[in-house]
């Protein structure tokens, strides 16, 4: 395959060797090859229908592109840095294979609209894959929530014991976060499903093309309305990076809890050995490396969002070479999101809950204090007065180094004479969680109902 640049006619001197390597993108954009071929086949089909190519030229182009794609898939294609990018490499190989017809493929288009189309086609498929990966993780969380519906866990605010909840309820909180992430990815896919092809370099083309036909062939909802906007903006990539950052933030929060819970100090859960590593010097260590790495990768994806925003912030219309820098952060963000989702979905089914340790922790820190306040309110005590009564009883327990449930009826009545023997029903952990029996509450019956609704939604 010749390394002669397809745009070299204007130039009297060859490109500097370092500049050639510095400006080339083929080492990373070759992953767009299937979409470049897909877009070129649709473009050739449209050109033939419009009489711009003959049917024979169209057939030769399509057959040649299919042969090239087979070489690429087999790892037998010779990529050339001198030809800069995936587009020029494929076009040069096509021309070498089928001759002059290959030179006609680029009629009515530019690399500007070509690359914008390729990236959208690629990201559209990746978003579908990411959506499926989110769903897979959600199914894993539902299974775990169902298994641990009745398992008592201390609920925290400010990382201080607040109220007892159930582990199943906690998993359903993670499920809801991911459900919004799935919606964001679907919304991003809807907005990017607009075709730039036909915008050419920036102003459209003088050839009688049929952009609606090309859009239909490529599965786009419609052609882009404005040629300048079509080739120059990368807001669809920024939008994905923003959605990906939110998703990774959620995975990082989940990872943080898994790391804390699996520590010897908490011992709420045990992670499978398959997702942990040891220490090179401390033989007793079992490090939660997978959630730690996902927590770290969140910063990497956040950085890609900032890189893309910065890339676009000062660009005048229309296309600029700056936009070559959109691919590496976009590609890396996609790869790390997919990898993080996969390993998380693999890890969660193997999580073992240490119910006794969770229950013991929930029994400390006065987790049922709010329940005692609610009890007093139901007995006619104004909430602010009830709050003060419970505050004083908690201070008493701190001094005596005991929990509210350890106090006798006589001791409790010393703080309020409306307290009766039925108070102990609300001071138990089971009574506390069962009392929150409404949609969104932690009562096991409500968690089971939430799981059922979620399974129906994902079906």
Supply the residues annotated as catalytic.
158, 279
Q: Which of 349, 264, 350, 257 is nearest to 295 (CA)?
A: 257
Please state, in angstroms and rounded to a whole number, the distance separating the CA atoms of residues 303 and 296. Answer: 11
Q: Which of 98, 86, 88 is nearest to 54 (CA)?
A: 98
Count the neighbouring beta carbons within 10 Å of the beta carbon of residue 457: 10
Please state, in angstroms and rounded to a whole number, the distance separating the CA atoms of residues 164 and 161. Answer: 8
Q: Which of 198, 200, 251, 196 is nearest to 220 (CA)?
A: 196
Please state, in angstroms and rounded to a whole number, the distance separating the CA atoms of residues 437 and 443. Answer: 5
Q: Determine the straight-line distance between the first and last CA of the chain, rounded to whole angstroms.
A: 50
For residues 220 and 196, is the Cβ–Cβ distance under 8 A? Answer: no
For residues 244 and 337, is the Cβ–Cβ distance under 8 A? Answer: yes
Count H helices and E strands in the chain, helices first. Answer: 20, 6
Count the neighbouring beta carbons within 10 Å of the beta carbon of residue 267: 15
């Amino acid at each position: 395959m010749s390394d002669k640049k397809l745009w070299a006619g204007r130039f009297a001197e060859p490109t500097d060797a370092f500049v050639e390597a510095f400006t080339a993108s083929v080492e990373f954009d070759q992953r767009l090859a299937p979409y470049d071929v897909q877009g070129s086949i649709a473009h050739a089909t449209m050109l033939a229908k419009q009489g711009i190519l003959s049917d024979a030229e169209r057939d030769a182009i399509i057959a040649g592109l299919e042969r090239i794609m087979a070489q690429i898939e087999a790892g037998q294609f010779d990529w050339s840095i001198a030809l800069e990018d995936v587009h020029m490499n494929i076009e040069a190989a096509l021309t070498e294979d089928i001759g002059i017809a290959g030179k006609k493929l680029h009629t009515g288009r530019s690399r500007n609209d070509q690359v914008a189309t390729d990236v959208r086609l690629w990201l559209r498929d990746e978003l579908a894959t990411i959506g499926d990966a989110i769903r897979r993780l959600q199914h894993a969380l539902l299974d775990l929530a169902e298994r641990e519906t009745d398992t008592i866990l201390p609920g925290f605010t400010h990382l201080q014991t607040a109220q007892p909840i159930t582990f199943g309820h906690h998993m359903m909180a993670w499920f809801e976060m991911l459900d919004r992430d799935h919606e964001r990815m679907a919304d991003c896919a809807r907005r990017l499903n607009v075709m730039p092809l036909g915008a050419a370099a920036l102003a459209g083309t003088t050839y009688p093309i049929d952009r609606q036909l090309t859009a239909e062939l490529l599965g786009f909802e419609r052609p882009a309305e404005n040629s300048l906007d079509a080739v120059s903006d990368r807001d669809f990539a920024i939008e994905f990076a923003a959605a990906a950052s939110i998703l990774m933030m959620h995975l990082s929060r989940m990872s943080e809890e898994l790391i804390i819970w699996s520590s010897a100090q908490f011992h709420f859960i045990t992670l499978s050995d398959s997702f942990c590593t040891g220490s090179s010097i401390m033989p007793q260590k079992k490090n939660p490396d997978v959630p730690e790495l996902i927590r770290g990768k969140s910063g990497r994806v956040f950085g890609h969002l900032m890189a893309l925003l910065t890339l676009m912030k000062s660009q005048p219309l229309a296309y600029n070479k700056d936009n070559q820098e959109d691919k590496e952060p976009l590609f890396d963000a996609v790869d790390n999101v997919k990898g993080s989702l996969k390993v998380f979905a693999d890890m969660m089914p193997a999580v073992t809950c240490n119910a006794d340790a969770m229950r013991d922790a929930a029994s400390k820190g006065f987790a049922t204090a709010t329940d005692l306040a609610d009890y007093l309110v139901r007995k006619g005590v104004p909430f602010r007065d009830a709050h003060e009564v419970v505050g004083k009883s908690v201070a008493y327990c701190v001094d005596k180094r005991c929990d509210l449930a350890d106090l006798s009826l006589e001791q409790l009545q010393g703080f309020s004479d409306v307290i009766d023997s039925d108070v102990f029903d609300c001071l138990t952990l089971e009574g506390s969680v069962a009392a929150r029996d409404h949609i969104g509450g932690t009562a096991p019956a409500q968690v089971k109902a939430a799981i059922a609704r979620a399974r129906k939604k994902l079906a």
